Structure 1
């Protein structure tokens, strides 16, 4: 599958800033499986969908148009829709028009590629460059850039070899494809220093080709607020609350969350604690669970086995507005992932003024400041997680200090800064003869 890709990007004729303007030429954004309008927390939808949506909105505000190409997964959805002024979503027919787990999309790549090339040719569109997201879209992009003769930027979002190093192996083909993509693009976008290190150490990438562009957070949407009405609605007025948020799949480690809550509730002084699980099964989560009820069914069974009853409540997929309310009412948010390229849940919780107890993996070590905005834990010992969760719950004054520090730290990550960095990177890639790498902010 990967042997036809040249080892380095093909050459292209750069358009100088003082020559024919490229300002009106759109960026082709390839995101086969992750639509920027997908419902967050449901199915495969998550941080990647949100990131693409916010970046395209920010690019639009700066006069940089984008065409976002996704696979149609709903027969009722329009072929095109406007995301923002100058930002267009295009749905291409490739395989059944229904949600399909990422692991089953490999067979649809040729169809998606042909649909993309045919659509662009029919419109006679000319793009500034291609920015692909996730390895599946990278597979498509390598053929598109050969046809169009434009530079190529790629974001992986997650890496197979990072997952394997965390004990969650993916199919070998994915890692091989990622390596070929990583060595073929003009520039790679990493979400965190941890992902940058993984690209260098696990894929042999030249560090000078990697630019770290972390996601941002909406500090107005995710903010401390009065929570009395929400607590009343959920029956949590006199309860301390621990929150888990994320897709329900093995990689996210919700089973460790359940075990940690069981450890915590077995200790004296925590009779009033309730744990909320926010998120629904992903397609791959259902497959990996090997349980008739999917990953949620497996976790609910675990809750029963641990004798937790209604002390752990499953809320299903939660809309961002409601999730912001839940972060704000929580006393602590737990992020027990096996690996994370960044850790958007931790960032959103911290913006809400909520301390985070997280696994010391991937980008979480950059987002959470251990002992200041929460705690980072090596290993996957439920008792150790319970201990740190208990420390936050048992000391309201410390929890307030940590919450204030968490919000201050989250304020360093804004979508405006992310977009500004991305625009600089695009200019560096498009006009390499006039832009030094330092001006991209990549060094």
Structure 2
């Protein structure tokens, strides 16, 4: 049995994806933690306290706990402000344990946890989930600039951590090329999907004002490209145009972004067709996906794109941007359509194809479901355990 610490400084994996800064990373950490615990390992997820009402420790299941650490004010904070909490979080973390391995998720966590792992002479594993772009890269309209120490911090973590876990081959290449991570220390551990929860519809969708509809499920921020989704829906012929259901919420960094998107929809004459429904529970999201005609993922950047896999398990075709790991999450022409363009007309053509050509949509969605059924969180956790076991064994020999 391993004693495993999973560190997530800036966001709690128990938060609903799409709320605040909760996204794909939260889903990955929570489901891998549950799978590791079910295999008999002692797992503790450690996050910053962002509310006064949370208990110090919350039991999530057998062998699995969520621990809240005091660092900064006990209230939500903009993601970029969490750099200010690293030192205090690290001091608190140094009093916890014991652990056999510490696995940090995102660079904030790594900066706090790597010194603790070094002091205890235990392995430190780093997952980035997103990696800072070079200073010369232009930001999307409204996108917040990087935290001051991020680029140097990520490079330090890539050089000094005992192992680097990437969620996709695309992320692995970025860790090596941009951060200087040694390829022999990088392991790709693909995410899984709950194919029982995210499952195909068993009947035709009931008549409703949202049928047929397309879905976007994401944190509402410029990086996710939601403006493109709205422009694409507006460019679809009115006789075929689906409604657009947007699941998710804006984080503290992007107050007012939903209003901007609403104004864009009104400007394009489809304000009545775009529905912002806020963050959804996993169960509600699963129902929303399985009744959709198409799922859109127009992100400027994605390390993987878990929603694509959840849509696949729901047997719903995906139209995705050709960015980062989305090329791996969606196999173009096999499980969905991948578009290397941000022209709304090009996206509208793909949406039109899937809505009007039932045979193509069915073929893509059937193959997508078949692929999703081969991917599970148990397999993901087992791959992660091989990384942990190797590091612990090598340390024992040394």
Query: What is the TM-score when the length of structure 1 is the normalising length?
Result: 0.85
Residue 76 of structure 1, CA deviation: 0.7
**Structure 2: which 5+ runs fail to align?**
none
Kept in 1: contact 2:80–2:146 (CA 8 A): no
Kept in 1: contact 2:83–2:147 (CA 8 A): no
Name the residue aligned to 2:372. 410
Name the residue aligned to 2:151. 175
**Alpha-carbon separation, structure 1, partners of 2:149 and 2:257:** 25
Name the residue aligned to 1:201. 177
Kept in 2: contact 1:163–1:338 (CA 8 A): no
1:132 aligns with 2:104: yes
* CA distances 1:311-347 after superposition (whole Å, capped 9, x unpaired): 1111111111111111111111000000100100111
**Structure 1: which 5+ runs fail to align?**
1-22, 287-293, 436-443
Name the residue aligned to 1:50. 27
Kept in 2: contact 1:350–1:406 (CA 8 A): yes
Kept in 2: contact 1:164–1:170 (CA 8 A): no
Name the residue aligned to 2:336. 374
Kept in 2: contact 1:227–1:325 (CA 8 A): no
Superposed counterparts of 1:185-200, under 5 Å? 185-200=161-176
**Alpha-carbon separation, structure 1, partners of 2:146 and 2:364:** 36
Give the SS at the match of 1:105: helix
1:142 aligns with 2:114: yes
Equivalent residue in structure 1 for 2:252, among 266, 274, 283? 283
Give the SS at the match of 1:277: strand
**Alpha-carbon separation, structure 1, partners of 2:71 and 2:328:** 38
**Alpha-carbon separation, structure 1, partners of 2:138 and 2:311:** 24
1:224 aligns with 2:186: no
Distance of aligned partners of 1:63 and 1:349 in 2 relative to their CA distance in 1, 3 Å threshold: same
* CA distances 1:395-434 after superposition (whole Å, capped 9, x unpaired): 0121111110111122232101100101111011111279
Superposed counterparts of 1:32-431, under 5 Å? 32-118=9-95, 120=96, 125-161=97-133, 168=140, 170-171=146-147, 173-226=149-202, 231-232=206-207, 234-236=208-210, 239-264=211-236, 267=237, 269-271=239-241, 273-286=242-255, 294-431=256-393
Count of residue pairs brought into register by the alignment: 393
Kept in 1: contact 2:3–2:43 (CA 8 A): yes
**Alpha-carbon separation, structure 2, partners of 1:296 and 1:269:** 27
Give the SS at the match of 1:218: coil
Query: What is the TM-score when the length of structure 2 is the normalising length?
Result: 0.94
Residue 376 of structure 1, CA deviation: 0.6
- Larger Rg, first or second structure (1 or 2): 1
* CA distances 1:211-256 after superposition (whole Å, capped 9, x unpaired): 000111000000112355x644x534xx321111111001111011
Distance of aligned partners of 1:433 and 1:173 in 2 relative to their CA distance in 1, 3 Å threshold: closer
Give the SS at the match of 1:53: helix
**Alpha-carbon separation, structure 2, partners of 1:215 and 1:162:** 27
